[in-house]
Chain A
Amino acid sequence: MSKIASQIKQTAVAVRSKIQRRGKPTLSFPLRSLTNVKYHPKKGFLELKGKKKTRTLTVATVKTFAQTLRMMSQAKTLVEGDEIMTKREAYYVSKNWDDARFDEQPESDTVIDDIEALFEVNREQLGFIPEEKGGEVAGKLVVIDRDSETGKKLRIDCTKFGSGAYSIPISVEHLKFETKAKFVLVIETAGMFQRLVKHGYWRQANCILVSMGGVPTRACRRFIRRLADELKLPVYAFVDCDPYGMFNIYRTLKVGSGNAAHINPFFCVPKAKFLGVTPQDIVDYKLPTHPLKDVDIKRAKDALKNDPFVQHYKPWQDAIQQLLAMGVRAEQQAFAVHDLNYVIHHYLPEKLAVPKTFLP
């Protein structure tokens, strides 16, 4: 029996014996919030502090309690049968549970996240896989995968996708890599990625380009992490200059999230550096801007106050202060104001010439 399966069984045994002793069974989960994480500079990611929330079986919690146990049982079946299930499929399977069924998918997602945190594993290990895919890759990288039918090695050359790109699979643990590139450039928007791919920027800069499409998925983070660790490549992030780009996208990429902190050790890229766009870039490159929205200001202040990562790095605090003082934000595609390919010919080369100026 796998480790996970026996862990699930142990929990079930504990619940049962409590019931047999006429006690109220409990399940305790690590608290999933930014208040329960601390930044560990040496390890380079947000780490759980150990606060727990205990769900005791009462009249009020009986429904969720029943649902959690049924979902655990589902996970055990998956693990034992080496089967996978998307979160959406898990939601549909619950429709067999009569009164304990979920009415909306977010409810079942929360229960899955709870179980994942309960056993401190990522949900893929429990057999639950996400619906979303991982992001796109182009440039000087060869991914070695296996043919699902024959089991033979497949060499995928990421320079051979023309104007398209290699799509990061949901699970990346079995992949192997070969490369001669010097660094990985991680890009927020698909639009900017398209521009760089079309003009073969990876050839010019000798790099691997990865498009995240917003907040990077777990697979995307794990993929970049493995590139960074196994190929010993520096990772530079190129995102919008706004609190969302800085703290939702970049911070999650670099140190992980507060919501699923138990998986951060694997799903973060501590080596990542912030290439741009920085508040100073707005000034230096005379970028057209938009005023900060209320939610941006709120997010920035919240980061200053609560985010352990920001609290650890003075340069980030300064950057936020500067941004708040300017009261504006700028997108990475704003360089188009000078010239469509200004990014390729001026901005990126100029920034890459001095990596020391990158924000941590």
Chain B
Amino acid sequence: MAKVRKTRLSSKRKAVGKARTASKKTTSKRKKSKKKAAKKVAGKRTGKALRVSKKTQPKAEKVLEESPEQADSFHSTAEDMARRQREISVAEFFMKNRHLLGFDNPRKALLTTIKEGVDNSLDACEEAGILPEVRIVIASGAEENRFRVTLEDNGPGILRKQIPKIFAKLLYGSKFHRLKMSRGQQGIGISAAGMYGQLTTGKPVVITSKTSRNQPAHHYELEIDAKKNEPRILVDETVKWKTPRGTKVEIELEAKFQKGRQSVEEYLEQTSIANPHVSLALVTPDGETKVYKRASKQVPRHTREIKPHPYGVELGVLIKMLHDTKARTLQSFLHTDFSRVSSRVAKEICEKAKVSERSRPSRIARQEADSLFKAISQTKIMNPPTDCLSPIGEELILAGLKKQIDADFFTAVTRPPAVYRGNPFQIEAALAYGGSLPGDGLARVLRYANRVPLLYQQSACAIMRSVLSTAWRNYALQQSAGALPTGALVIMVHMASVWVPFTSESKEAIAHYPEIIKEIRLALQECGRKLAVFVRRRRKAAESERKKAYIHKYIPHIAVALREMLELSEPQQNTMVRQLTDVLERSRS
């Protein structure tokens, strides 16, 4: 039996190998169907191989034992290997690892595509000081499981020459090279969405953009060259577009449209809560239009870009910075390229590293970077500036929550800025309680990073950890050990930072930095205290209401009994009821 199993295994491996070569030849467009065919072939081969090997197996084993050197023909020489070694393009890498970017399944792919598009639109609008208006249309595509997503904004538009790179080149963007609070970070999102569409439907990304009323609109159809990570332009023309200014992106992709948890609608609802200045409209495949209205006309404060703080850089980054700097001396490099490093502090670092402050940075990059890096961690440096953060603000959080959630009580807290690993960040938390929220289940947690809702990987997130480790029972709520509190409660937490430490590129969960967890907990506790006051006051009111009803139930009986015993009149009985009510209600408090 064991032998047979072994055979099956080996033959399968062989078959799969063949299948792989077969599929490699085909273009990515038809990859799917070919794969199926390959599988079929594999199946056949397995069957055949099994039949054959039943006879030949013992023989083969013998041969193997007798001449081990024969097996060498399967091994590769360094030359063979060298022939196979070649560059991997980022695009190719992400094509294979699309789950890293949030395209794990058709349902999530739709959400991620819309999310990336909306994030870009909002970032652009805010940077240009425009009140964002985004319209999302999800239309059924030519085939089942295919949808055409159209995202249209009233943003500043994109310059013609930039369009191909922004939409069809991975890791191209304005946000990666600067420390600034924004939704996007790496410049992967929208191009990855376009690539996913191309991968699953073969259709290009269609972009129309107009920068001002006087300019014509540019119309592009783009594909991404996965090997070179370069855009391939299919259509490039000027068109007439009624819209005075804005960008429209159309992506056709394999997706699944669903309602409920982790849906597009949930994402938009949560976006609208944390971004009350945004107006969103969604047209679903059923033709239904959902509008998330604007609750504030205040565009978030423009955020300032900051230089990295010495505590936040890693050795490799430091070496790169030393290499690239325009500064002539080490001291001026430290002073100009970092936040919070005065000339005096720069000198102190140099002394600690035992390096001359006048030495050339490029020389240090090769030799003394390590001691410089250690010296930085030993030097006391002021915390980074925090005016680069733009929290939503208590008032606007409340406006956003009240707009989307029907509850009796709202409270919000914006914590003072704090720092983790040299990066400034700020935590905001809010609670909504009571009203039409379901009272029997667990509380709902809304997580945000730089105003973007996080819908996946809740349990891996620092926010969730903080919510769970908060003792909600102190705040008049029920909570089982290690679980979310129970009751009609929505918990909202927002982390604003120039660099949000996500656990993966798909930006779904915030990493567990102790400083962050602590700040979140403090914010939650502050909200919890306010909630407790409300809950206790309400309970007390309900209790006294109940008591009042109870008193009114039995007081008439006392009066009746006394009337019977003392042969009183009806008016006398009524007087007694009044007097008794008076006596008891007065004693209640």
- Which residues does A use to contact B, with CB under 8 Å? 8-9, 12-13, 15-16, 19-20, 22-24, 57-59, 62-63, 65-67, 69-70, 72-73, 76-77, 97-100
Out of B561, B579, B584, B587, which one reaches A69, CB within 8 Å? B561
Closest Cβ of chain B to A55, distance in Å, is 12
| Contact between chains at B554 and A100 (CB < 8 Å) | yes
Would A59 and B547 be within 8 Å (CB), given that A24-B587, A70-B561 are in contact? yes
Out of A9, A13, A99, which one reaches B554, CB within 8 Å? A99
Closest Cβ of chain A to B527, distance in Å, is 34
Out of B550, B554, B555, B579, which one reaches A20, CB within 8 Å? B579
Would A69 and B576 be within 8 Å (CB), given that A12-B562, A19-B583, A76-B565 are in contact? no
- Range of interface residues on B (Cβ < 8 Å): 20 to 34
| Contact between chains at A97 and B557 (CB < 8 Å) | yes
Within 8 A of A (CB), among B557-588: 557-558, 560-562, 564-566, 576, 579-580, 582-584, 587-588
Would A19 and B580 be within 8 Å (CB), given that A9-B565, A59-B550, A76-B565 are in contact? yes
Most buried by B among A16, A24, A57: A16
| Contact between chains at A62 and B555 (CB < 8 Å) | yes
| Contact between chains at A66 and B557 (CB < 8 Å) | yes
Measured between beta carbons, the chain A residues less than 8 angstroms from B550 are 59, 62-63
| Contact between chains at A63 and B584 (CB < 8 Å) | no
Bound CA span A167–B19, Å: 104
| Contact between chains at A57 and B565 (CB < 8 Å) | no
Does B177 belong to the interface (CB within 8 Å)? no
Known: A12-B561, A59-B588. 16 other contacts (CB 8 A): A12-B566, A16-B562, A19-B579, A19-B583, A20-B579, A57-B558, A62-B550, A62-B554, A62-B555, A69-B562, A70-B560, A73-B565, A76-B565, A97-B557, A99-B554, A99-B557
In order of increasing CB-CB distance, the 5 nearest A-B pairs are: A69-B561, A66-B557, A12-B565, A100-B557, A73-B564
Would A58 and B561 be within 8 Å (CB), given that A16-B576, A22-B579, A99-B554 are in contact? no
Residue of A nearest to B588 (CB): A59
Closest Cβ of chain B to A217, distance in Å, is 30
Residue of B nearest to A67 (CB): B557
Measured between beta carbons, the chain B residues less than 8 angstroms from A98 are 557
Bound CA span A69–B568, Å: 15
Measured between beta carbons, the chain B residues less than 8 angstroms from A69 are 557-558, 561-562, 565
Bound CA span A59–B551, Å: 6
Out of A12, A59, A77, A99, which one reaches B584, CB within 8 Å? A59
Bound CA span A76–B562, Å: 11
| Consensus secondary structure, chain B interface | helix
Would A62 and B583 be within 8 Å (CB), given that A9-B565, A12-B565 are in contact? no
Would A66 and B584 be within 8 Å (CB), given that A13-B566, A22-B579, A59-B547 are in contact? no
Measured between beta carbons, the chain A residues less than 8 angstroms from B555 are 62, 66
Measured between beta carbons, the chain B residues less than 8 angstroms from A72 are 561, 565
Measured between beta carbons, the chain A residues less than 8 angstroms from B584 are 57-59, 62
| Contact between chains at A8 and B557 (CB < 8 Å) | no
Does B261 belong to the interface (CB within 8 Å)? no
Would A22 and B562 be within 8 Å (CB), given that A66-B555, A69-B557 are in contact? no
Measured between beta carbons, the chain A residues less than 8 angstroms from B562 are 12, 15-16, 69, 73
Out of B547, B558, B579, B588, which one reaches A66, CB within 8 Å? B558
Residue of B nearest to A11 (CB): B565
Bound CA span A76–B580, Å: 23
Measured between beta carbons, the chain B residues less than 8 angstroms from A62 are 550-551, 554-555, 558, 584
Closest Cβ of chain B to A16, distance in Å, is 5
The digit string for B400-425, where 1 denotes a CB below 8 A from any CB of A, is 00000000000000000000000000
Measured between beta carbons, the chain B residues less than 8 angstroms from A9 are 565-566
Closest Cβ of chain B to A8, distance in Å, is 6
Bound CA span A70–B550, Å: 17
Measured between beta carbons, the chain A residues less than 8 angstroms from B582 are 22
Bound CA span A58–B560, Å: 18
Closest Cβ of chain A to B560, distance in Å, is 7
Does B553 belong to the interface (CB within 8 Å)? yes
Would A19 and B554 be within 8 Å (CB), given that A59-B547, A70-B561 are in contact? no
| Consensus secondary structure, chain A interface | helix
Closest Cβ of chain A to B142, distance in Å, is 71
| Contact between chains at B579 and A63 (CB < 8 Å) | no
Task: Enumerate 29 A-B pairs (CB-CB under 8 Å) in ascending A order.
Answer: A9-B565, A12-B565, A15-B562, A16-B562, A16-B576, A19-B580, A23-B583, A24-B583, A24-B587, A59-B587, A62-B550, A62-B554, A62-B558, A63-B553, A63-B554, A66-B554, A66-B555, A66-B561, A69-B562, A70-B561, A73-B560, A73-B561, A76-B565, A77-B564, A98-B557, A99-B553, A99-B554, A100-B554, A100-B557
Bound CA span A22–B581, Å: 10
Out of A16, A22, A23, A97, which one reaches B566, CB within 8 Å? A16
Bound CA span A72–B562, Å: 9
Measured between beta carbons, the chain A residues less than 8 angstroms from B554 are 62-63, 65-66, 99-100
Most buried by A among B554, B555, B557, B565: B565
| Contact between chains at B557 and A70 (CB < 8 Å) | yes
Measured between beta carbons, the chain A residues less than 8 angstroms from B551 are 59, 62
Measured between beta carbons, the chain B residues less than 8 angstroms from A59 are 547, 550-551, 584, 587-588
Out of A13, A22, A100, which one reaches B583, CB within 8 Å? A22
Out of B547, B564, B576, B587, which one reaches A19, CB within 8 Å? B576
Bound CA span A24–B555, Å: 13
Measured between beta carbons, the chain B residues less than 8 angstroms from A20 are 579
Most buried by B among A20, A22, A24, A62: A62
| Contact between chains at A58 and B587 (CB < 8 Å) | yes
Bound CA span A13–B557, Å: 16
Measured between beta carbons, the chain B residues less than 8 angstroms from A65 are 554, 558
Closest Cβ of chain B to A126, distance in Å, is 13
Measured between beta carbons, the chain A residues less than 8 angstroms from B558 are 57, 62, 65-66, 69
Closest Cβ of chain A to B423, distance in Å, is 58
Bound CA span A57–B558, Å: 10
Closest Cβ of chain A to B453, distance in Å, is 48
Bound CA span A206–B580, Å: 64
Measured between beta carbons, the chain B residues less than 8 angstroms from A66 are 554-555, 557-558, 561
Bound CA span A66–B556, Å: 8
Closest Cβ of chain A to B544, distance in Å, is 9
Bound CA span A62–B583, Å: 12
Bound CA span A59–B543, Å: 12
Residue of B nearest to A69 (CB): B561
Residue of B nearest to A66 (CB): B557
Closest Cβ of chain A to B298, distance in Å, is 51
Residue of B nearest to A68 (CB): B561
Bound CA span A9–B582, Å: 24
Measured between beta carbons, the chain A residues less than 8 angstroms from B580 are 19, 57
Measured between beta carbons, the chain A residues less than 8 angstroms from B560 are 70, 73
Bound CA span A97–B554, Å: 10
Bound CA span A58–B583, Å: 9
Most buried by B among A19, A22, A97: A19
Within 8 A of A (CB), among B476-504: none
Measured between beta carbons, the chain A residues less than 8 angstroms from B583 are 19, 22-24, 57
Measured between beta carbons, the chain B residues less than 8 angstroms from A15 are 562
Measured between beta carbons, the chain A residues less than 8 angstroms from B565 are 8-9, 12, 69, 72-73, 76
The digit string for B255-272, where 1 denotes a CB below 8 A from any CB of A, is 000000000000000000
Measured between beta carbons, the chain B residues less than 8 angstroms from A76 are 564-565
Bound CA span A247–B558, Å: 40
Most buried by B among A8, A23, A57: A57
Closest Cβ of chain B to A237, distance in Å, is 43
Closest Cβ of chain B to A70, distance in Å, is 4
Bound CA span A322–B427, Å: 77
Closest Cβ of chain A to B384, distance in Å, is 60
Measured between beta carbons, the chain A residues less than 8 angstroms from B564 are 73, 76-77
Bound CA span A254–B374, Å: 97
Bound CA span A16–B572, Å: 11
Residue of B nearest to A18 (CB): B583
